[in-house]
Each structure stands twice: as C-alpha cells, then as structure tokens.
Amino acid sequence: MRPMLLGEMTPETLMEELGTSPSKALAARRLAQLGMPTRKSEAYRYFDIEPLMAHDWEILRNEASAEIAESEEQIVITDGRVTALPKGVEVQVGCSDAIDLDGNHFDPLYYLGHLLSPEVISIRFKEDAKVTLVHRFTQPGKLLAYRTAIYLDANTHVQIDERFEGEQACGALILSGSDVFISRDATLTLIKDETLKEGDYVPILSHRIKVDSQALCRLHSFDFGAGSGLQLIRVQLHEHARIDADHLLYATDHARRGTVSQIVHIGQSSVSNQRAKNILAEKARGIFDALIKVEHTGKYTKAHQNSKAILLNDGAYMASKPQLEIYIDDLEASHGSTTGQLDEAQLFYLRSRGIAKEEARKMLILAFANELIDALEDERMRERLHASFETAYWGVTNVTCMETCHGCEDLAAGTAAK
Amino acid sequence: MSNVVMEIENLHARIGAKEILKGLNLQLEEGKVHAIMGPNGAGKSTLSKAITGHYDVEVTEGAIRYKGQEIVDWEPEDRALEGIFLSFQNPVEIPGVNNAYFLRTAVNAKRKHQGLEELNAAEFLREMKALVQELGMKPEMINRSLNEGFSGGEKKRNEILQMMMLQPDLIILDEIDSGLDIDALRAVSEGINKMKDGKRSFLVITHYSRILDYIEPDYIHVLKDGKIIKTAGPELVAELEEKGYGAIEEA
Amino acid sequence: MAQEELDKAVSGEYALGFEIDIEEDKVPPGLSDEVIRFISKKKEEPDWMTELRLKAYHKWLEMEEPHWGHLEYEPIDYQSISYFAAPKKGPESLDEVDPKILEAYEKLGIPLEEQKQLAGVKVAVDAVVDSVSVKTTYQEELMEKGIIFCSISEAIRDYPELIKKYMFSVVPMNDNYFAALNSAVFTDGTFVYIPKGVRCPMELSTYFRINALNTGQFERTLIVADEGSYVSYNEGCSAPMRDENQLHAAVVELIAHKDAEIKYSTIQNWYPGDEEGKGGIYNFVTKRGLCEGENSKISWTQVETGSAITWKYPSCILKGDNSVGEFYSVAVTTLAQQADTGTKMIHLGKNTSSTIISKGISAMKGQNTYRGLVKIGANAEGARNYSECDSLLIGDQCGAHTFPYLESKDAHGQVEHEATTTKISDEQLFYLRQRGINEEDAVSMIVHGFCKEVFSQLPMEYAVEAKALLNLTLEGSVG
C-alpha cells in the first residue's frame, strides 16, 4: 500500500483501499460522523494530534502469519502479529467482523484503527488465568495498526499484565487497543505499564471495555517517562457491574501523556471509581479528560472520580477535565480535581525531623504515587511497579523493604529473635 | 546558673502581615524544663515555629542563638540535625509515607550528620519496636502511613516515639496534652520524663497547667501579646491557676 | 413525592408573562447594512460608531454559530428577527414614560420612581424595554460624585472618549458569534463609570424587558471602575409569554482598575417556554470582566431561573497581580429548559485568586450544564482557584452535567475542583416532615440550603427577590 496522509483520508477512500465488510462499513460510517481528529477535536484537545495526522505514513504490513513459539505465560505480539503463546490460551486471528464493534465510541481513531487493522487478534479466556501480554514494536518510523480483543467467559478471573517493548521503533505511530468483553460475574484485572522516552514510538491506544452484569474490571495504568502517548477508553457498565480504574502518570521532558475516558453507566446499580494521579516535571503535559455518563437506565449508580496532579516545576502543565453527564436523579456521583504542588506542611514536618529538603520531596512524591501502586492486589506486580516507578523517577531503583513492605512484622520478629 | 542552650533576644516575628512576636526575650538553660504559658493568641505556637524555621513565620528583627550560633537563617532540617525537636500540636498526616521508613530516614540522617554509621533495617526496627511497646502503641503503627488516620492520642505518642529515637538536645512540646485522655497523658509524660538527663532541655508550651503536674518545670515564663512578661519558679503555676493571665502584669 | 404532582406544580404559570400594550416602533425583520445604519441613525450615533457596527456585522457574517454547548434547539433564523423595537414615545422625563410601561414595571416589582426605595435602600435604576432605555433614576445625585450612570446610547453621544477607550476592550467585537452580532446591532444598555477613589453610594440596577413580538434584545453594558473605586450593580430580566422563541444576545464588559471592585449581580427570569419546549427566550450572553490593575476584584453572582436556552459564561481575566475573581451561580432548569452556563477564570497575574461556586437545580425535563475553564498561566505565580459545582436533581427526567476544564501551568499555583450530584434524599425529607414541616416547605428548605452560599452573595434586597423567584419557579415541584 502506498504511504498515506491520515488527515487527507476519507472514509470513502479507505473503504476503497480496504474493501468492505459489515464491521468495516460501520467503522467507516462512524469515522465519517466523527471526522478525522484535529486540534479542535474534544478528545485530542490537549494532545497535539495534527502533526501525526499530517505525516506521510508508510503503513507497516506483515507477511503471512509468523511462527508462534510456545511460552511460559507470555503472549507476545510483535508488530501486530502473535509470536508467542502460553499453553491453554485460545487465540484466534480473524477479521474484525468476528467482533461486535462499539457503535458509540467517542474516538475517531478507534474506528480508524479498526479500518486499518487487517485483522483482530482475539484472546479468549475460558478459565482463570494470569498472563503477561507483551506488545513488541520493531519497525521505526512506520504506522502500525492492529487491534486485539479480549474475551472473558462467565465466572472467570483473569489478570493481564500488559507491557510494551519498542526501543527500536522510534518515531513509529501505533494505532492499537483492545475491545474487551467481560462476561457475567467475571473479573478482569488489567495492568498496563508503559515507559516511554523522548523520540520513542507514539502509542494511541483506543480501548472499549464492556462490563457485563455483576462483572468487575480493575484497570491500572502506569504511564511513565517522556514522549507522546494517549490512551482512550470507553467503558460500558451493565447491571451491578463495576469498574475501578486507576491511572498513574509520571511525565517528564516534553511529554504529552494521558488518559481520555468515558465511563457509561447503562445498567442499574453499577459502580465506577476512577482515580488519577499525575506527577509532571520539566515541560511535560499531563492529560486527564474523563467523563462519567449515567444513562436514564442507570438507577442507583455510584460514580466517583478523583484526579490529583503535582507540578514539580514551572513549565509543567496539567490539563484536567473531569466531567459528569447525568440523566437520572437516583444516584451518587462526585468528582474532584486538584492541581498543585507538594504540601508545605508535610514537607516541613519531614524537614523538622532532619530530613533534607530534596530527600523529603522525593519521599512525598513516592508516597503520592504509592497509593495507586499499593492498590495492586498482586504482590509481585506491586513490587515490579514500585521498581518501574522508581526507575523512571530516579533513574535507578532502590526500593528497600521498608518503603513498600506491608509485612515488616516478619522481619521485625525475625531480628528481635536474633 | 547553668549553661544557656538557647538565647532569644528581642525577637520580632510575623505571620503574613501580622506581627505576633514583639520583642521577645528568653533564655533556656541546659538540663532544665522551661514552661511557656499564656492565653490563646499570645504567640506561643509562633514561638515554636520561629525556633524551628516554619515557612509561615518571618523573623523581622532580633536573634535566636542556639548553642552559641545564630540560627534564624538555617534550614529546618539543619536545626533538627543540630538537636532541636518540635513535638507538633497537630502533626500532619502524610498518606503513603510508611512510618518506619520515614523514621529510619530521619534517624540515619542524624547519624550521618554525627559521623555515625547508618542503622540497617533490622537494627532500626528492633529499637523502634521496643519503644513502640514501651509507649503502649499498637505494633501495626510501625507500618502504617505517617500519622494517617491516627487518633489524637496515637499522633502524640508517635511524636514522643520520634523524639526518643532521635535523641534531641532541645525538645519543644507544643500543647502536648491537648486532646489526650489521662492514660495517654501518663504514657506521654513518662516518655518525656525518661528523656530528662540533666543535659537535655525542654520547652513546654501550654495553655493549661495540667501537663505541669506530670512534667515538673524549673521555670515558668508567661507569654502575653508577643512578649515574655514574667519569669518565675514553679510556684507561679498556682498563682496563674488562681488569678488567671489577666492578673499578671509586666515586671 | 409523586412525580405527577411535581410536574403539575412545576408547570405553574409564568408569573411575569403579561404583555403590555404600547405602541412599538419596530424595523422590519432581517439584517443588512441598511438595518444597521438605520439603528445607528435612530440612536443618533456619531459616524465612528456606525462604522464600528458595520465592521462587526461583516465579521459576524463570516462567523459560524457555535454548537459545542450541551444544548438542543431549533436553528435560529437571523433574518426573521427584528433588530430594533422601541416604544414610540421617546421619554424625556419620568412623567413622560408611558404609564403602561410603569405599570409593567410595577407588576415586575421594580421601583422605577425615585421616591420608591427598595427595602429602604436607595437603588438607582436604568430600565430597558425592548431596545431602548426608558428611564434612569438618581442620575443627578450620582453625577455629584462624578459617577456616570446612563444608557449606552447617551454615553456614545456624551462620553465618546470613554466609549472609544473601553468598549470592545474586554470582549472584542469578533470574540464569538453572538458577541459579534451584538456589536453590530446592540440597541441599548447601560454605561457606568466610577471615578478614582469613589465608592458608589447606592446599588445600581438595570431591568431589561423584551416586550415586542419577534424582536431580539441586544443590550450592551459597560462598567468601568477607576482606581480604588467600588460599585455594586444588579440586572434583572423578564419577558412576556410567547409561543415563538425570542433571541437575547447581550454583551457585558467590566473593567476594574487598581484596587477597584465591581460586584455584578444578575437575576435572570426571561420567559422559559412551556413544558414541551415551546416558546421562551434564547439567551446567548457574553459577560466578561477584566481585572486590569493590582488588587482589583470582580465578582459575578447570577441567579438564572428563566430562558428556554441559556448560554452564558461570566468570566474574569485576572491580569493585575493579587486580583480576585469570583463566580457564584444558581441555575434552575425546569419544564424543558436547557442551561449551559459557567465561567472562565484566566489567571495571568501573580497571586491571583478565584472562587467558583455553582449550584445547578434540575427538575422535570430540565437539562443543566456547568461548563467552566480555569487557566493558570505560566507567569501567574502563586495563583489559586477553588471551584465547587453541585447539582441537585428533582425527578428522573432531568439531567445535570458538569464539564470543567482545568489547565494549570504554574508549579506554585493551586487548582481545586469538586463536584457532586445528588437528589433530595428521602431521609432528609422525612426528618424535616417528622418535625412537622410539610413536604413543600421541607423541599424548599433543602433547596434554599443548597443555594445558600450563592444567595448570601447577593445584596440583601435581591437575595429576598431571588429566594421568592426560586420558590415560584419550583413551586410544587418542590412539594
């Protein structure tokens, strides 16, 4: 396929290029309604999408399917193709007609991703599992579009630890994301850990998460470092469904990173808790643009949202846009947002105990981040994320037992006996 | 007269645009317990903030000499490392900062300052656990976030725990008895009394005389309208109890 | 509460929906260079003003109507609106004001006569019917202090230097579609100038009323508070019941110099239309204040109960160091009303601070949106903002939406935003009723409690009026 200017494409030309299928037709129609993102698009208001849209991209195309290696517990997707799979995980690669596309996504690039993506990698969980999903990018400067779909059967409990490796793919644009379907009574814990450097690939990850009756989704995203990247998430909550979404952002340099989300309460008694913490240094820009929408059918909804940001220096920039859109009176909804600096009283307290100012600042920043890291249930993940944050923050990790441990009783008891 | 550990001379200090301390003079002697008493709004807490270098307080005139050195321009942590300890009236809550981790950082900062080797986690925890027990604190305090969700009594005990771990030379107790029930008050004062060693000095700031039944003062200073208006022995407490602050006139 | 009862009660008659029968002097509907020249001529304006109007008109022609608001309404046909309507008799003094207009004002409860003092407090009133200012009271007394309080038409004729200096300085003529339209066709409005160091001795008020059929009202208000001065200004609005929608596109500009303070209160009670969404005023208003000098302060308080559509964001540009901006708002949407309202606080100067308190009440099919922008510039060191946006829902057909934009570039600044959405809880109601308070009073008590922070910002007399109006608007829905 010839290189293409995204900004100049129309749904018609895309259909021509890509052939038609019912889901592609839906995607094309929705894309036409939403229009290609511009500086004025609400979802990309703070992101600076235009240079990406104006760029002359060569789309990365893969040859026929690669060999799939068997792995311990890692699913590896390299440049949009599955290259490794653990035993027992069912993966199908099929065209996007196989999945039920979201007809009301707010993000035009969700649809563009589907249009450009040759097929959808569908991962299905029929039983409880803990897996690592690695996205590996190797091709610099190209546009890579691929979509994944994740299915959880009823009553399953699955943890997915999602990682990104793309040191070689500098300057690439990744249009990806997942369509996630969590069936009745199932629980998905999705942990995303992505650290970028200036000049790395640009991920625009557009997700859609459908949480069925009484199902639970725990979403933890950890975005560290510099560069540009945005995650756009649309969540649909059915009766008694629940989502707990935490987003920790630590951005430096000239980063433009963040989350744009819509949580839609469709069913009654659904619950959402969304927390964002943003630490911004140097010239970084953090984005938290999150809407909670309660439909007329969403009686007895409980929706709470909170965003906190710390600007470490002048020049750092936080754009926070917490929103409520509510069409029913029987509910509980609130949001709060603060942007500021470290608390002076806390800083003074630490210093009055002899801890130097810089050390005290670091302690408070770590503490600020800890709340979201400590919310991880899996202890190994917790440790990894502590290390990951500290590596991003200090350049090295020097996690000691006491900074993170919650079971020092053992150590204390052990040494007392010595 | 024993050695003077701190000498405050003609201290003027303000918070925002308001002058609170208006030419305060005070000498603190080594090994002695000094009590500062005074009505609300007299400037008691401002004095403790001025001594520790709090960001709210601006010293506009006068001097604070500690162990012979002028400290007005010192950073808060440098004052702490040199042995000044303030037990806060309302200790701030710091979610996410582990209590033990915080205290070990503070203890090791001090040890480093004194040229001592840092304590490892095990040594430190052994010491901390013993003191936690001694102060009647719940063991889980060790791993809770600093002051977060602590009751008033627990916060004060935690202040005393830090004091005992840091072994300071000048201890300022700002309304240490506020919000304490009788058991907590007893435990806290026992901790304080144990710290008396004839070298260490105490500055007890209080509105009520109750705490002075537990920590016997050597000197009573009455602070009113930003100045020390009277200094006397412990016998002054009874007089204050009886007549109130209004009766005390500038000597 | 039974929903039926609620609805029946909420649909209570619009108490200010009477129409006065006075002879109107109206231009035919539609907009063109000629119409603008006509308006300008009718107002006996100098040529420079005519030129400015034409310039604004041509800019407007190139602009597009904004549709980002959370609002749904029939397209506005700008060519079917009449842009100028004046009562035929030009009033020279109070005695010459058409008795029917006076009667109308009496019905509105406005003390137009100088002798009449509202709640014992002197209030200077400028009353604007349709397009023309009919009477300004207390003018002479204010003149003694050097305070100018007159209609904008008079000001253009009598104080051209002040107008040239300040008009369009805060809201440029091409600021937005509706502001551009207003700049081209504004018919009347109020001008206030408070000289250096003067504290305006009384409340200043303007009452706006749209009377004529198929007319738009496009008033323009300009208030300049010179160094160290203070003024409290109130505006009230109403309109008769009409089946068609009428357009109201006003512009208000405030300038506060060093150490000056402007307090601007609005009680807006334009006709809201009926429960099917038929009729009512389309209220597209641009209000903006510039805290030009150090330590200046601008405070907006609004009680919005009327209009079918409200699109309004009274804003503050905090340019002077230590300047203060405030926005206190109660917006009620019932019937089929839609409001998209809020504020913008733009922090440019050091240590500037702003407070936003917004209370939205939605009942029946009302849709209430708070939309606000807080922007802390990189040089606004130590800037602070606190926002609180609460919504109260009454009934399950209404909607409450909160869309704050919070942008901070200053590491020493602080931005705090909180919002809640609640309904009147059954427990609260039961508690009050158990103490012997009837349901209607209990709900009213809770609603007033909900709005208290905002009402307390209004001058006393107006707070009383606002409370009465709130009761009237929600009559029955609240009981």
C398 touches chain A (CB under 8 A): yes
Contact C419 A339 (CB under 8 A): no
C233: distance to nearest CA of chain A, Å? 33
Q: Kindly state whether residues C64 and C151 are assigned to the same domain.
A: yes
Q: What pLDDT shows up at residue C99?
A: 61
The answer, yes or no, to whether residue C196 has pLDDT greater than 80, is: yes
CA distances from C93 to A75, C89, C99, C113, C136 (A): 86, 11, 12, 11, 9
Contact C408 A312 (CB under 8 A): no
Residue C5: inside a domain, yes or no?
A: no
Percent of chain A with pLDDT over 90: 64
**For the residues B8-20, what does the mean pLDDT come to?**
94
Q: Kindly state whether residues C257 and C109 are assigned to the same domain.
A: yes
Q: What pLDDT shows up at residue C448?
A: 82
Window from A51-65, A88-102, C407-421 with minimum mean pLDDT:
A88-102
* Contact residues for C259 (Cβ-Cβ < 8 A; gap 6+): C227, C228, C293, C294, C295, C296
A401 touches chain B (CB under 8 A): yes
Percent of chain A with pLDDT over 70: 88
Alpha helices (H) along C63-171? 99-108, 139-144, 152-158, 160-166
Residue C27: inside a domain, yes or no?
A: yes
The answer, yes or no, to whether residue B2 has pLDDT greater than 80, is: no
Residues C367 and C337 sit within 8 Å (Cβ to Cβ): yes
C264: distance to nearest CA of chain A, Å? 28
203-242 of B, contacting A, C-beta below 8 A: none
Window from A210-214, C58-62, C437-441 with minimum mean pLDDT:
C437-441
The residue assigned the tokens 């969403």 is A298
Q: What pLDDT shows up at residue C10?
A: 38
Cα–Cα distance for residue pair C148/A214, rounded to 1 Å: 67
Q: What pLDDT shows up at residue B145?
A: 85
Alpha carbon C309 to chain centroid distance? 13
The answer, yes or no, to whether residue C130 has pLDDT greater than 70, is: no
Structure tokens at B61: 């005139």
Contact B96 A370 (CB under 8 A): yes
**For the residues C301-310, what does the mean pLDDT come to?**
88
pLDDT in tens, C132-142: 555 566 777 88
Residue C3: inside a domain, yes or no?
A: no
The answer, yes or no, to whether residue A416 has pLDDT greater than 50, is: no
Mean pLDDT score of chain B? 89
Q: What pLDDT shows up at residue A1?
A: 41
A275: distance to nearest CA of chain C, Å? 14
Going by pLDDT thresholds of 50, 70 and 90, the confidence category of residue A406 is very low
Chains A and C lie in contact, requiring 3 or more CB pairs less than 8 Å apart: yes
Residue C9: inside a domain, yes or no?
A: no
Cα–Cα distance for residue pair C138/C146, rounded to 1 Å: 13
Window from A294-298, B183-187, C44-48, C126-130 with minimum mean pLDDT:
C126-130
Contact C423 A329 (CB under 8 A): yes
- CB pairs under 8 A, 24+ apart, for B243-248? B245/B37, B245/B38, B245/B39, B248/B222, B248/B224
> A240's torsion region: left (phi>0), alpha (psi -120 to 50) or beta?
left
The answer, yes or no, to whether residue C405 has pLDDT greater than 80, is: yes
Residues of chain A with C-beta less than 8 angstroms from the C-beta of C398 = 327, 329
Contact C401 A326 (CB under 8 A): yes
**For the residues C154-178, what does the mean pLDDT come to?**
92
Q: What pLDDT shows up at residue A241?
A: 96
Residue C7: inside a domain, yes or no?
A: no
Cα–Cα distance for residue pair A363/A49, rounded to 1 Å: 35
Window from B58-67, C125-134, C217-226, C276-285 with minimum mean pLDDT:
C125-134
Cα–Cα distance for residue pair C289/C222, rounded to 1 Å: 10
A405 touches chain B (CB under 8 A): yes
The answer, yes or no, to whether residue B170 has pLDDT greater than 70, is: yes
Size of interface A-B (CB pairs under 8 A): 112
Q: Kindly state whether residues C369 and C438 are assigned to the same domain.
A: no
The answer, yes or no, to whether residue C115 has pLDDT greater than 80, is: no
pLDDT in tens, B188-229: 888 889 889 889 999 999 887 788 888 889 999 999 999 999
The answer, yes or no, to whether residue C5 has pLDDT greater than 50, is: no
In C, minimum Cα distance to A279 occurs at C411
The answer, yes or no, to whether residue A159 has pLDDT greater than 70, is: yes
Question: CB-side exposure of A123: number of CA atoms within 13 Å?
Answer: 26
**b/e for A82-105, b at 16 or more Cβ within 10 A?**
bbbbbeebeeeeeebeebebbeeb
In B, minimum Cα distance to A351 occurs at B77
In A, minimum Cα distance to B88 occurs at A349
Window from A392-401, C87-96, C355-364, C375-384 with minimum mean pLDDT:
C87-96
ipTM of the complex: 0.83
Q: What pLDDT shows up at residue A200?
A: 93
Residues of chain B with C-beta less than 8 angstroms from the C-beta of A409 = 139, 143
**CA-based end-to-end distance of chain C:** 7
C400: distance to nearest CA of chain A, Å? 5
Going by pLDDT thresholds of 50, 70 and 90, the confidence category of residue C211 is low
Window from A91-100, B38-47, C195-204, C306-315 with minimum mean pLDDT:
A91-100
Q: Which chains touch C (3 or more CB pairs under 8 A)?
A: A
Query: How do A216-225 and C24-26 pair as beta strands?
Result: unpaired
Q: What pLDDT shows up at residue B49?
A: 93
The number of domains in chain C is 2
The answer, yes or no, to whether residue A76 has pLDDT greater than 90, is: yes
pLDDT in tens, C70-86: 888 888 888 888 887 76
B80 touches chain A (CB under 8 A): yes
The answer, yes or no, to whether residue A297 has pLDDT greater than 50, is: yes
Contact B106 A354 (CB under 8 A): yes
> Residue A31: enclosing H or E segment and its boundaries?
helix A22-34
Q: Kindly state whether residues C91 and C122 are assigned to the same domain.
A: yes
The answer, yes or no, to whether residue A337 has pLDDT greater than 80, is: yes
B243: distance to nearest CA of chain A, Å? 37
A351 touches chain C (CB under 8 A): no
The answer, yes or no, to whether residue C427 has pLDDT greater than 80, is: no
Q: What pLDDT shows up at residue C6?
A: 37
Mean pLDDT score of chain C? 81
Going by pLDDT thresholds of 50, 70 and 90, the confidence category of residue C121 is very low
Contact A352 B98 (CB under 8 A): no
Contact C417 A296 (CB under 8 A): no
**For the residues A391-397, what does the mean pLDDT come to?**
75
Q: Kindly state whether residues C425 and C435 are assigned to the same domain.
A: no
> Which of C387, C405, C429 corresponds to the end of one domain?
C429
Print the domain residue range for C156.
Answer: 16-429
Contact C402 A323 (CB under 8 A): yes
B22 touches chain A (CB under 8 A): no
Residues of chain A with C-beta less than 8 angstroms from the C-beta of B166 = 353-354
Residue C305: inside a domain, yes or no?
A: yes
Q: What is the dihedral of CA B28, B29, B33, B39, to 10 degrees?
A: -20
Bridge partner residues of A157 (DSSP): A187
The answer, yes or no, to whether residue A137 has pLDDT greater than 50, is: yes
Cα–Cα distance for residue pair A284/A316, rounded to 1 Å: 5
Contact A329 C411 (CB under 8 A): no
| One-letter amino acid for residue A277 of the chain | K
C394, C415, C421 ranked by CB distance to A339: nearest: C415
Where exactly are the structural domains of chain B? 4-247
**CA-based end-to-end distance of chain B:** 21
> Whole-model pTM?
0.81
C3 touches chain A (CB under 8 A): no
- CATH architecture type of domain B4-247: 3-Layer(aba) Sandwich (3.40)
In A, minimum Cα distance to C424 occurs at A329
Cα–Cα distance for residue pair A313/C412, rounded to 1 Å: 8
C214 touches chain A (CB under 8 A): no
| One-letter amino acid for residue C233 of the chain | Y
Q: Kindly state whether residues C309 and C435 are assigned to the same domain.
A: no
C96 touches chain A (CB under 8 A): no
Contact B54 A348 (CB under 8 A): yes
A321 touches chain C (CB under 8 A): yes
* Contact residues for B71 (Cβ-Cβ < 8 A; gap 6+): B53, B64, B65, B78, B79, B82
Bridge partner residues of B65 (DSSP): B7, B70
Bridge partner residues of A173 (DSSP): A143, A202
Contact A418 B162 (CB under 8 A): no
Residue C214: inside a domain, yes or no?
A: yes
Higher pLDDT, C432 or C289: C289
Residue C8: inside a domain, yes or no?
A: no
Q: Which chains touch B (3 or more CB pairs under 8 A)?
A: A
Residues of chain B with C-beta less than 8 angstroms from the C-beta of A375 = none
B86, B103, B121 ranked by CB distance to A352: nearest: B86
Residues of chain C with C-beta less than 8 angstroms from the C-beta of A341 = 411-412, 414
Going by pLDDT thresholds of 50, 70 and 90, the confidence category of residue A414 is very low
A342 touches chain B (CB under 8 A): no
The answer, yes or no, to whether residue C347 has pLDDT greater than 60, is: yes
**For the residues A169-190, what does the mean pLDDT come to?**
96
Contact C416 A338 (CB under 8 A): yes
Residues A137 and A167 sit within 8 Å (Cβ to Cβ): no
**For the residues C335-347, what does the mean pLDDT come to?**
91
CA distances from C230 to C297, C316, C417 (A): 9, 17, 29
Q: Which chains touch A (3 or more CB pairs under 8 A)?
A: B, C
Q: What pLDDT shows up at residue A311?
A: 93
Contact C410 A309 (CB under 8 A): no
Residues of chain B with C-beta less than 8 angstroms from the C-beta of A354 = 77, 80-81, 106, 109-110, 113, 166
Q: Kindly state whether residues C453 and C391 are assigned to the same domain.
A: no
Chains B and C lie in contact, requiring 3 or more CB pairs less than 8 Å apart: no
Q: What pLDDT shows up at residue C9?
A: 36
Residues A330 and A360 sit within 8 Å (Cβ to Cβ): no
The residue assigned the tokens 């020390």 is B228
Q: Kindly state whether residues C40 and C188 are assigned to the same domain.
A: yes
Structure tokens at A413: 């008891």
The answer, yes or no, to whether residue C120 has pLDDT greater than 60, is: no
Q: What pLDDT shows up at residue C479?
A: 41
Going by pLDDT thresholds of 50, 70 and 90, the confidence category of residue C351 is very high
Percent of chain C with pLDDT over 90: 37
Contact A352 B96 (CB under 8 A): no
Going by pLDDT thresholds of 50, 70 and 90, the confidence category of residue C212 is low
Size of interface A-C (CB pairs under 8 A): 122
Percent of chain B with pLDDT over 90: 52
Contact C402 A313 (CB under 8 A): no
Residues of chain A with C-beta less than 8 angstroms from the C-beta of C418 = 334-337
| One-letter amino acid for residue A182 of the chain | I
B167 touches chain A (CB under 8 A): no
The answer, yes or no, to whether residue C110 has pLDDT greater than 60, is: no
Length of chain B, in residues:
251
The answer, yes or no, to whether residue C53 has pLDDT greater than 80, is: yes
Q: What pLDDT shows up at residue B250?
A: 55
Mean pLDDT score of chain A? 87
Window from A177-186, C105-114, C277-286 with minimum mean pLDDT:
C105-114
Residues of chain B with C-beta less than 8 angstroms from the C-beta of A349 = 88, 91-92, 94
Cα–Cα distance for residue pair C236/C129, rounded to 1 Å: 12
